[in-house]
Amino acid sequence: MIKVGLTGNFGMGKTTVAELFRSLGAYVINTDKIVEELLNDNSVMNEIKKLFGEEAFLEGKINKKYISQIVFENPLMRIYLENILHPKVFEKIDEIIKNIPTRGEPKIVIIEAPVIFERGYQNRFDIIITVYTTEEIAIERLQKKGIPRDEAIKRLKAQFPIEMKKSKSDYVIDNSESIEKTKAQVEEIFQKLTLLERRYAGN
C-alpha cells in the first residue's frame, strides 16, 4: 500500500484530481469531509468554543463563516484551530487505512490534504503530488463557487507559494487547461504509482 498526499492551493483542483484517481481504482480519503464530521463532535465543539467564544456558534452549530474570517486574518488562530483538528484527522485517516482490504489489486491511497507543507506533514506520506494552476485561474474558480475575489486572494496568501510546493513534490499535475489534459497526467502518474506499489509489495 502506498500513501499519497495530494495537495495544492485553494481553487487549484485537488478534488477534481482526487476523483480522477478514484475513477482509476485508487482509494481516496478527503480530509475536508473528515473535518466536517469532527465539527459535529461534541468534544471538538467544546474546544472550539473555548478558543473562539460563543460567537463561533449559530443556532447550536459552528459558524464556519465567522471562524473562517478570523483564521484567514489571524495566522496564530488558524494554527490553534489546526492543532485541535489535525491530530483527530490523522487518527481517522489511520483508522480508515487499517480497514482497507489488503487483498486484490495494488492499493494506492490518495489522501487529499491542503496544508501538508505548511504544517510539516511530508513524512506522513510515501509520495506527495501537488496540483497547480496559475493564481488567476484559481481565483476565477473560487469566485464561481461564490467566494469574493478579495477573500479568494486572502485564502491563497495564507498558504505557501505553489512553486515551493511543486519543487518539494514527487509529482506535479498541471490543472490549468482541459479536463482531458489533467486526466492524461493522472493516468500516467497512476501507472507509475501502481508499479511502485508492486515493487513495495514484492519486497
DSSP sequence for 20-56: HHHHTT-EEEEHHHHHHHHTT-HHHHHHHHHHH-GGG
For residue 92, which of 43, 32, 47 has the smallest C-alpha distance? 32
**Residue 12 marked in a binding site:** yes
What distance in Å separates the CA atoms of residue 88 and residue 122, rounded to the nearest whole number?
A: 17
Angle CA 138–164–3, to nearest 5: 85
Q: Kindly state the cell numbers that stand for 147.
A: 467566494
CA dihedral 167, 172, 176, 182 (to 10 degrees): 180
15 marked as binding residue: yes
Task: Say whether 120 counts as a known binding-site residue.
Answer: no
Check whether 53 is labelled as a binding-site residue: no
Q: Are 147 and 72 in contact (CB under 8 A)?
A: no
Residues making up the binding site for ATP: 11-16
Residues making up the binding site: 11-16
